[in-house]
Structure 1
């Protein structure tokens, strides 16, 4: 008998119009490798049973995907226009007041890293150009005053 367990990521069911989170499975360990294909949440999850399946969107995360975001905040909604998850984080200055839902901090950090790399490259190019222009002006001044 095979006792191997398979790990499946979190499935997020949401209202396609409002982005309201209807159900989250959390990560699941299961002995059936076809478990994901056999799930039928519309037959056993009350909040989904009362819905027309076409009105519900599903986002399937990989195991550990957005793990830090789930640890530091909670899933507030799915943006129905972009289909991006939006998290609510507590404001460190006012921990009792949750912030507005926003994209995962891990995604924001990665976007800022990419932007920072681009800005550094642009800054380097501008510095080189400024040095070149200064050299040209210096040569022109030498030519004028000879």
Structure 2
């Protein structure tokens, strides 16, 4: 069984408190928020009402976590956002953004639909 990581964060600010490890094992078992808060030292002492958890798919955003400078959970959307190191010419004070993994996926989908539309248009114009 493959179990993805869980991101525990403050509901009000989106500050990430702890990320559990992902697990791949035939004996892996999903745990509840209450079980995690009793097990992980980093979560002990927090009021469960003040924390929320975002469950990620196995291997989801692995590359984003590796290259990001920081990350947080947007309290309004409850989605993870990353701050990536600035490249030459970029704003030296980058803002959080959707994971690059998701951005690439969206661009691929848009490219595929643009190509399909162009092929359909070419087909119509060559038949005229």
TM-score with structure 1 length normalisation?
0.67
Q: Does 1:123 align with 2:118?
A: yes
Q: In the alignment, which residue of structure 2 is the partner of 1:3?
A: none
1:105-124 CA distances to partner (integer Å, 9 max, x unpaired)? 11110111011001111112
Number of aligned pairs?
A: 127
Higher relative contact order (CA 8 A, sep 6+): 2
* Higher percent of residues as helix: 1
* Higher percent of residues as strand: 1
Q: In the alignment, which residue of structure 1 is the partner of 2:97?
A: 102
Cα RMSD of the aligned pairs, angstroms, is 3.2
Q: In the alignment, which residue of structure 2 is the partner of 1:73?
A: 68
TM-score with structure 2 length normalisation?
0.75
Higher-Rg structure is 1
Runs of at least 5 residues in structure 1 that lack an aligned partner in the other structure: 1-5, 136-146
Runs of at least 5 residues in structure 2 that lack an aligned partner in the other structure: none
1:4-38 CA distances to partner (integer Å, 9 max, x unpaired)? xx864322111223222122223357896347358
